[in-house]
């Protein structure tokens, strides 16, 4: 089991190399098509064709070397498109398969064209020039093989067009850069210059990087103020409901096991939002949660993603939610209904199985509670299952485990790549740091990381906050029930922010 991380890391690197290589090959071939086409239309009536002209070829022998190299590149192009097809998310594999078929035909046309030119035509062709506009209609050896070459390049460009939907996703301009690099910005690790932490036993610490300036002056207690607030949906509610229906249909069809659809709302204030005051309210209402604040991203997460202390690893995934009313009898009844809900149990089991299977390669043993338990917070109740085990030697850093787990099916879905592709296609929300992980790590690889939920993203002037909430969609999900669940979850940050 100790080799699991190495295998996972190797597979990830191979997959990244295949994706990056395929993009480079596609961009080069596209540039070749455009350049060759412009040359044909921009030059005068006569265009010399050195590849099949022995006299000119004697002056430029490298052209024949290029043909041999081009044949090798065609084979590599097909191999890279094949790798893209193997990597493609399930909802996009029809496009990648079409692109692969076209790439095979393009490679076959170009391989036959180049092979015949360098092995058969070279000794027998005589010097001549061709009409650049009549390449596809002039019936002689030069014209025929130029036409075949153009057909091959055209098919390569069509293969590229078919592969574009495979890499689509995201709503910001950097989508093109993500496509080119074959990766996502979601894996960025941000290390603050100054980190202040507090442990469960009350111990406090501060970590400073590169002698960053530190101001340890305690801010004064917040003064109660009254502000005017507006609350509205950032993404239309109908967009959210349609996304839930699409996700539910994808699960029912068997393409996915679970997918998490989120929505966001915006709170605006006529006064700057006091971050210190918000954190104090979160501490008062969500004392058992993991509270965090970083560059205007604040929240109180009830969900432990992963913690490492020595050789002990722990996780406490949450999935399945019901409201709390404040009445003990009603809350107990809602908790019993949550435990008995087949829909919520299925949603929860998907998360537990994936977290367990992800951690297992690093562990000598890994155990979990036989049945999920109720995890209450101020505004909602969750189904939660504690997972704990012993790490094998050499033990991984907690950051390595965070990278392997994120995003869990509680924020993304399962299978992960297919779920994330569907989310990017239908959700309409730029999640930013929502759904990632927030925590700390020490020099020995120990640390505690929570899932970045129950959060708000503040604008630089602190007059605007964007809140997020989502829910797991399975076959039995009802769109309006899921909407109600997000409303209950949003109350956590709304109650901490809004002070009219």
One DSSP character per residue, 36-92 reads HHHHHHHS-SEEE-GGG-HHHHHH-THHHHHHHHHHHHHHHHHHHHHHHHHHS-GGG
Query: Among the options 150, 174, 295, 303, which is catalytic?
Result: 303
Pair (154, 302) in one structural domain? no
More confident residue, 223 or 5: 223
Pair (234, 170) in one structural domain? no
Of 155, 181, 207, which closes a domain?
Answer: 181
Residues with Cβ within 8 Å of 450's Cβ and at least 6 positions away in sequence, in order, are: 289, 290, 292, 301, 303, 304, 305, 437, 438, 439
Pair (177, 231) in one structural domain? no
Of 116, 150, 181, which closes a domain?
Answer: 181
Lowest mean pLDDT among 104-118, 300-314, 418-432, 473-487: 104-118
Q: Is residue 209 part of a domain?
A: no
Pair (159, 300) in one structural domain? no
Q: Is residue 199 part of a domain?
A: no
- Evaluate if residue 126 carries a pLDDT over 60: no
- Evaluate if residue 91 carries a pLDDT over 60: no
Q: Is residue 168 part of a domain?
A: yes
Q: 265-283: buried (b, 16+ CB within 10 Å) or exposed (e) per residue?
A: bbbebeeebbbebbbebbe
Q: 130-169: buried (b, 16+ CB within 10 Å) or exposed (e) per residue?
A: bebeebeeeeeebbbbbbbbbbbbebbbbbbebbebbbeb
Q: Is residue 108 part of a domain?
A: yes
The span from the CA of 415 to the CA of 255, in Å, is 9
Is residue 417 annotated as part of the catalytic site, yes or no?
no
Closest by alpha carbon to 110, among 68, 154, 149? Answer: 149
Pair (263, 392) in one structural domain? yes
What length is written for the chain? 500
Residue range 181-227, pLDDT digits in tens: 444 444 678 888 888 888 878 888 898 988 888 888 888 888 888 88
The span from the CA of 116 to the CA of 152, in Å, is 14
Pair (171, 78) in one structural domain? yes
Q: Is residue 431 part of a domain?
A: yes
CA distances from 244 to 115, 448, 477 (A): 53, 32, 8
Residue range 25-75, pLDDT digits in tens: 555 555 555 554 444 444 434 434 444 444 444 444 444 566 667 777 778
Pair (252, 153) in one structural domain? no
User: What is the pLDDT at residue 489?
Assistant: 93
| CATH code, domain carrying 417 | 3.60.120.10
User: What is the pLDDT at residue 245?
Assistant: 95
- CB burial of residue 406 (10 Å; 0-12, 13-18, 19+): buried
Residue range 352-361, pLDDT digits in tens: 999 999 999 9
Pair (167, 236) in one structural domain? no
- Evaluate if residue 320 carries a pLDDT over 80: yes
Q: Taking the model in full, what pTM does it have?
A: 0.63
Residue range 255-288, pLDDT digits in tens: 999 999 999 999 999 999 999 999 999 999 998 8
- The total number of structural domains in the chain stands at 2
Q: Is residue 193 part of a domain?
A: no
User: What is the pLDDT at residue 179?
Assistant: 44
**What range defines the domain where residue 268 resides?**
227-497
Region for residue 375 given its phi and psi (left: phi exceeds 0; alpha: psi -120 to 50; beta: otherwise): beta
Task: Give the Cα-Cα-Cα angle 185, 20, 421 (nearest 5 degrees).
Answer: 50
User: What is the pLDDT at residue 118?
Assistant: 62
Residue range 364-410, pLDDT digits in tens: 999 999 999 999 998 899 999 999 999 998 889 999 999 999 988 88
User: What is the pLDDT at residue 242?
Assistant: 94
Pair (238, 177) in one structural domain? no
Task: Identify the bridge partners of residue 233 per DSSP, sorted by sequence position.
Answer: 265
User: What is the pLDDT at residue 468?
Assistant: 96
Residues with Cβ within 8 Å of 155's Cβ and at least 6 positions away in sequence, in order, are: 102, 103, 105, 106, 109
Confidence label for 150 from pLDDT (cuts 50, 70 and 90): confident
Query: Among the options 149, 150, 258, 400, which is catalytic?
Result: 258
The span from the CA of 304 to the CA of 314, in Å, is 8
Residue range 233-264, pLDDT digits in tens: 999 999 999 999 999 999 999 999 999 999 99
The span from the CA of 350 to the CA of 174, in Å, is 32
H or E stretch at 456 = strand 455-458
**8 Å CB contact between 457 and 247:** no
Q: Is residue 217 part of a domain?
A: no
Pair (339, 446) in one structural domain? yes
Q: Is residue 212 part of a domain?
A: no
User: What is the pLDDT at residue 113?
Assistant: 75
Pair (335, 471) in one structural domain? yes
Of 118, 148, 181, which closes a domain?
Answer: 181
Pair (252, 164) in one structural domain? no
User: What is the pLDDT at residue 338?
Assistant: 94
Is residue 369 annotated as part of the catalytic site, yes or no?
no
């Amino acid at each position: 089991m100790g080799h699991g991380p190495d295998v996972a890391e190797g597979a990830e690197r191979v997959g990244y190399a295949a994706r990056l290589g395929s993009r480079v090959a596609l961009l080069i071939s596209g540039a070749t098509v455009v350049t060759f086409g412009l040359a044909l239309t921009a030059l005068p009536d006569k265009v010399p064709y050195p590849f099949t002209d022995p006299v000119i070829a004697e002056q430029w022998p490298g052209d024949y070397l290029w043909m041999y190299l081009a044949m090798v590149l065609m084979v590599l192009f097909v191999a890279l498109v094949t790798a893209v097809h193997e990597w493609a998310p399930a909802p996009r594999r029809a496009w990648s398969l079409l692109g692969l078929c076209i790439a095979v035909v393009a490679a076959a046309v170009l391989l036959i064209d180049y092979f015949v030119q360098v092995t058969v035509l070279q000794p027998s062709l005589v010097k001549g020039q061709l009409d650049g506009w009549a390449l596809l209609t002039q019936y002689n050896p030069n014209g025929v093989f130029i036409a075949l070459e153009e057909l091959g390049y055209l098919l390569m460009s069509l293969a590229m067009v078919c592969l574009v939907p495979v890499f689509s996703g995201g709503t910001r301009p950097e989508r093109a850069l993500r496509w080119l690099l074959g990766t996502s910005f979601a894996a960025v690790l941000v290390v603050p210059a100054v980190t202040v932490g507090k442990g469960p036993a009350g111990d406090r610490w501060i970590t400073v990087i590169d002698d960053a300036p530190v101001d340890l002056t305690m801010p004064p207690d917040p003064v109660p103020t009254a502000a005017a607030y507006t609350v509205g949906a950032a993404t239309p509610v109908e967009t959210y409901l349609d996304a839930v229906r699409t996700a539910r249909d994808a699960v029912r069809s068997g393409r996915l096991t679970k997918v998490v659809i989120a929505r966001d709302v915006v709170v605006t204030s006529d006064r700057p939002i006091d971050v210190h005051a918000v954190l104090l309210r979160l501490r008062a209402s969500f004392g058992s949660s993991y509270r965090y604040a970083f560059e205007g991203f604040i929240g109180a997460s009830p969900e432990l993603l992963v913690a490492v202390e020595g050789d002990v690893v722990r996780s406490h995934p949450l999935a399945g939610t019901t409201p709390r009313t404040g009445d003990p009898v009603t809350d107990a009844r809602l908790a019993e209904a949550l435990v008995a809900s087949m829909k919520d149990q299925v949603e929860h089991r998907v998360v537990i199985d994936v977290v367990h299977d992800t951690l297992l390669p690093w562990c000598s043993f890994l155990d979990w509670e036989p049945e999920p338990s109720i995890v209450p917070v101020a505004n909602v109740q969750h189904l939660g299952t504690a997972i704990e085990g012993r790490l094998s030697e050499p033990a991984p850093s907690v950051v390595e485990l965070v990278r392997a787990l994120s995003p869990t099916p509680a924020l993304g879905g399962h299978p992960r790549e297919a779920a994330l592709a569907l989310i990017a296609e239908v959700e309409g929300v730029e999640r930013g740091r929502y759904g990632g992980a927030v925590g700390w790590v020490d020099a020995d690889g120990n640390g505690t990381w929570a899932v970045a939920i129950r959060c708000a993203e503040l604008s630089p002037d602190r007059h605007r906050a964007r809140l997020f909430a989502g829910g797991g969609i399975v076959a039995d999900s009802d769109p309006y029930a899921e909407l109600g669940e997000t409303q209950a979850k949003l109350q956590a940050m709304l109650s901490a922010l809004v002070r009219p």
